[in-house]
Chain A
Amino acid sequence: MDKELFVFLIIASVKIFIVFNVVQVMVIAMIWFERKIMAHMQVRLGPMRVGFHGLLQPIADGIKLLFKEDIIPAKAEKILFVLAPVMTLVPALCTFAVIPFGEAINIFGYHIDMVITDINVGILYILAVSSMGIYGIVMAGWSSNNKYSLLGGIRSSAQMISYELTIGLSLIGVIMMTGSLSMVDIVNAQSKMWNLVLQPLGFIIYAISAIAEVNRCPFDIPEAETELVAGYHTEYSSMKFSMFFMAEYANMITVSAIAVTFFFGGWHGPYLPGVVWFMLKLSFCLFGFIWLRSTFPRLRYDQLMHFGWKILLPLSLFNILITGLIMVVRGL
């Protein structure tokens, strides 16, 4: 085999291995952090029993889920029922392929970019792949043969389609200023000034629609337990349920990583190495998710739709218009 190709394959697989595992560990850590942070915000203690201050709680939860009986309802559409959790989890993990998480390094004379692959349509790839997650949720809702699941699936599809639009439009301002769809170019363009300063409205729109996109509180209408039991994953148990669970957290990490890349200057930062900066900014975004969840009540379904189509969509179009105007005036 060609030596160049062999080295490339080795480096790529190592990078994929590391990123995949880091994301998994982050998902597990997120479960603990979310429960603890939310508990303290709500003047509770949170998990305290398993390990020091409940540190082993996610592992205990995982083991419990692993040993549960894996139930497939008798009248469920078996193939889709089994496929649905995979369809939600895989796209959530795939999006990490194009996110740059540090500056390039040289090891043994090989130049290694701290990104699995830098494709020139990075953000397009992310938006395309993350939209696939909707299919998983809709499939789960439909194949369960359960009215709550179906309603959850329908709501979820409507919500994600409407907010995907604003996500895309809110990022266009940044893309216009950078003139590139590549994530690495976008990060490099922010080495002096974060896009958060130049695109505040874009960031706010992105933040709101990202929360809606990953079905988190206050937009967690697909799994509103007061009306829909558990939404699209009502009939799921055992590892299939935990895959939905992991997908939700992986999606959160993904949209946070996009926010860091697009608005917080990616891995750029003084003194500390790029990876550390990236992780710090990522943790900050994830903390925001938990913070919002422990503070706000859930929106009603029609309020959500109203907000998405009548407020956020015009705002994001306005943002593009303003960005374009300023670019023309300044002759960029």
Chain B
Amino acid sequence: MIIPLMKGLALTFKRFINPFTCVTESYPDIRPRLAKRFRGLPELQVEDDGREKCVACGLCAKVCPSQCISIEGAEDEHFRRYPKMYELDSFRCIFCGFCEEACPERAILLGDSFELATDKNSGILDKEKLLESARRKKS
């Protein structure tokens, strides 16, 4: 009867003297450390020359279960396909990551932004918005 009680006391004391065991996240002050495979808002990726990787094949739009992606493709002067319009409705996105899986060019990846609350009543992000974070990382 006494030994389990002592074990309990030893455990709590061990936790007490080692502050690094603390699991509480002080979130607004310190950003939580996200897992590598964390699924945040999808982001479009860029090539080394700053152009978007996307070739407007439309697979992501096709596979998206909540149908939040809409694409309009076009060709540039070198006959290279690019998305003239790429819109993602962040209100409808369910962060499933299917778009990332479907993309043959790895042009859309789920990033680590999760603070998506907004006071606007439309969450549609255009191509520039979706490219922003990838461009920031490049430069």
A295 near B8 with CB under 8 A, answer yes
Q: Which residues of chain B (14-44) have a CB below 8 Å from chain A?
A: 15-16, 19, 21-24, 26
Q: Which residues of chain A (36-85) have a CB below 8 Å from chain B?
A: 37, 40-45, 48
Kindly state the separation between the CA atoms of A321 and B74 in the bound complex, as whole angstroms: 99
B22 near A44 with CB under 8 A, answer yes
A291 near B22 with CB under 8 A, answer no
A295 near B12 with CB under 8 A, answer yes
A45 near B22 with CB under 8 A, answer yes
Using Cβ atoms and an 8 Å threshold, which residues of chain B touch A291? 9, 12-13, 16
Q: Which residues of B line the A interface, CB within 8 A?
A: 5, 8-9, 11-13, 15-16, 19, 21-24, 26
A296 near B5 with CB under 8 A, answer yes
B22 near A295 with CB under 8 A, answer no
User: Is the CB of A294 closer than 8 A to any CB of chain B?
Assistant: yes
Name which residue of chain B comes closest to A37, CB basis: B16
CB distance from B121 to the nearest CB of A (A): 32
A-B contact pairs, 30 of them (CB 8 A): A37-B16, A40-B15, A40-B16, A40-B19, A40-B22, A41-B12, A41-B13, A41-B16, A42-B12, A42-B15, A43-B15, A43-B21, A43-B22, A43-B23, A43-B24, A44-B22, A44-B23, A45-B24, A45-B26, A48-B26, A291-B9, A291-B12, A291-B13, A292-B9, A294-B12, A295-B8, A295-B9, A295-B11, A295-B12, A296-B5
Kindly state the separation between the CA atoms of A296 and B22 in the bound complex, as whole angstroms: 19
B16 near A296 with CB under 8 A, answer no
Q: Which residues of chain A (274-312) have a CB below 8 Å from chain B?
A: 291-292, 294-296
Name which residue of chain B comes closest to A36, CB basis: B16
Using Cβ atoms and an 8 Å threshold, which residues of chain A touch B23? 43-44
Using Cβ atoms and an 8 Å threshold, which residues of chain A touch B24? 43-45
CB distance from B11 to the nearest CB of A (A): 8
CB distance from B44 to the nearest CB of A (A): 38
B8 near A296 with CB under 8 A, answer yes
Using Cβ atoms and an 8 Å threshold, which residues of chain B touch A295? 8-9, 11-12
The 4 residue pairs across chains A and B that have the minimum distance between CB atoms? A45-B24, A41-B12, A295-B12, A41-B16
CB distance from B59 to the nearest CB of A (A): 45
